[in-house]
Structure 1
Amino acid sequence: MYAVVSSGGKQYKVREGETLRLEKLTGEVGAPVSFDKVLLFSDGENVTIGRPVLEDVQVKGHIVEQGRAKKIIVFKYKRRKRYRRKQGHRQSFTAVRIDSIGSPGLVQKDDMESEV
């Protein structure tokens, strides 16, 4: 089971239990996160595509880490003109662990095993 969600202007393919790095989101470590822009959902057999988003599918997770990525160097140079500019940049990120994917009416395999 997987879904495609949109966050920070980018699209991410997510599965349950997976950790992904997103653009900085507000919230403390351990805070719940819900993705409302679900573009695609697959339960293993059927694929549902939103036009543009799916309203009845929920992707929930929680924040694992707030941090900054490694530094990159931005160096501008023009030959023979004595022009050099050096600048560093560290992008902020939020690591999110996906807890559940699914629609409210969907019965998952774990739920079916507990009923038997």
Structure 2
Amino acid sequence: MYAVIQTGGKQYRVEEGMLLEHELIQGLDSEKPVEFSKVVLLVDDSGAHVGTPYLDGAVVKGKVQAQAKSK
């Protein structure tokens, strides 16, 4: 299963267990899980589900491992 999420003006293909390098998210508490609700596409065993523009009720959850500004 994988999903395509939209965040920070970009789209990312994500899967369970993967590491995503993302631009800095201001005000994010690294102790709490982060949720991405702008899910554009979800592909699972039942097929592909495409949002118009986003899928209602779909959320991708993750956790912050580190935050830093790019050089």
- Please give the range of the TM-score, normalised by the shorter of the 2 chains: 0.7 to 0.9
The one-character-per-residue Cα deviations of 1:43-101 (angstroms, maximum 9, x if unpaired) are 044001001000121211111110133xxxxxxxxxxxxxxxxxxxx2xxxxxxxxxxx
Q: What is the aligned partner in structure 2 of residue 7 from structure 1?
A: 7
Higher RCO (CA-CA < 8 Å; seq separation 6+):
2
Unaligned runs of 5+ in 1: 70-89, 91-116
Structure 1 CA distance for aligned equivalents of residues 66 and 53 of structure 2: 30
Structure 2 CA distance for aligned equivalents of residues 41 and 65 of structure 1: 26
The one-character-per-residue Cα deviations of 1:7-52 (angstroms, maximum 9, x if unpaired) are 1000000000111111111323332100010000000440010010
Q: What is the aligned partner in structure 2 of residue 16 from structure 1?
A: 16
Structure 2 CA distance for aligned equivalents of residues 17 and 66 of structure 1: 18
Query: Which runs of at least 4 in structure 1 moved beyond 6 Å after TM superposition?
Result: none
* Identity between Structure 1 and Structure 2 (%): 40
Q: Which has the higher strand share?
A: 1
**SS, match of residue 54 in structure 1:** coil
Judge conservation of contact 2:24–2:69 (CA < 8 Å) in 1: no
Q: Which has the higher helix share?
A: 1
Structure 2 CA distance for aligned equivalents of residues 33 and 14 of structure 1: 14
Paired positions, count: 70
**SS, match of residue 52 in structure 1:** coil
Judge conservation of contact 1:2–1:14 (CA < 8 Å) in 2: yes
Q: Give the TM-score, by structure 2 length.
A: 0.87
**Greater C-alpha radius of gyration:** 1
Q: Give the TM-score, by structure 1 length.
A: 0.56
